[in-house]
Amino acid sequence: MKKIFAALGLFTIIFASAQNVSKVEVQNPAMDVLASIPKDKIELYNQAFSKFVSALKTADKQAVGLLISDKVKSMVDENMIQKLSGGISFERKTEVYQSGYQKLLDGQTYPAIQYKYADDKNDPPRDSITVIFENDGKILGVKPNYSK
């Protein structure tokens, strides 16, 4: 009987210590630029982004609230708006660098436009702003990317 318990104990120790540990890494999903956004939609999104930048520049929280999606309104606070205002250069003119669709964590695909500054002649641009929109033009996310 002792031998059976000893064998079972040995097997239990072996199986317990033989667990596989895997590393989970979260990455930003890549933008699918192969699917094109219609030009009329790009113009709609550009208008929404221009209004958003103007609202950030004047620190108009009410206008910012009207331009962002209801899905993110509860997460956006004044501190986040101030940080975003510091990440966008209001003096530099922006233009569309690339557009496409991006799949987010909720499993849905949304239109995304990556803007570059007009005075940045590098390819790829050193500084850019990626904006994800809902189909109606509301802004889901804004991410400035600056070179270091």
pLDDT score for 89: 87
Q: Tell me the HSE value of 25 on the side-chain side, using a 13 A CA sphere.
A: 4
CA dihedral 79, 81, 87, 88 (to 10 degrees): -160
56 in Cβ contact with 81 (< 8 Å): yes
pLDDT score for 22: 47
pTM to 2 decimal places: 0.73
pLDDT score for 84: 83
* Contacts with 132 (C-beta within 8 Å, 6 or more apart), sequence order: 102, 104, 110, 111, 112, 139, 140, 141, 142
The first and second tokens of residue 72, run together, are 């993110």
Q: Which residue has the tokens 């318990």?
A: 5
pLDDT score for 147: 74
Distances (CA, A) of 112 to 102, 130, 141: 6, 7, 9
One digit per residue, pLDDT tens: the chain, 148 residues? 656 655 555 555 555 555 554 444 445 556 555 578 899 999 999 999 999 999 988 888 888 889 999 888 888 888 888 888 888 888 889 999 999 999 888 888 999 999 999 998 888 888 899 999 999 999 999 998 877 6
Distances (CA, A) of 38 to 45, 71, 75: 11, 24, 30
pLDDT score for 26: 47
Alpha-carbon gap, residue 5 to 21, rounded angstroms: 28
pLDDT score for 21: 47
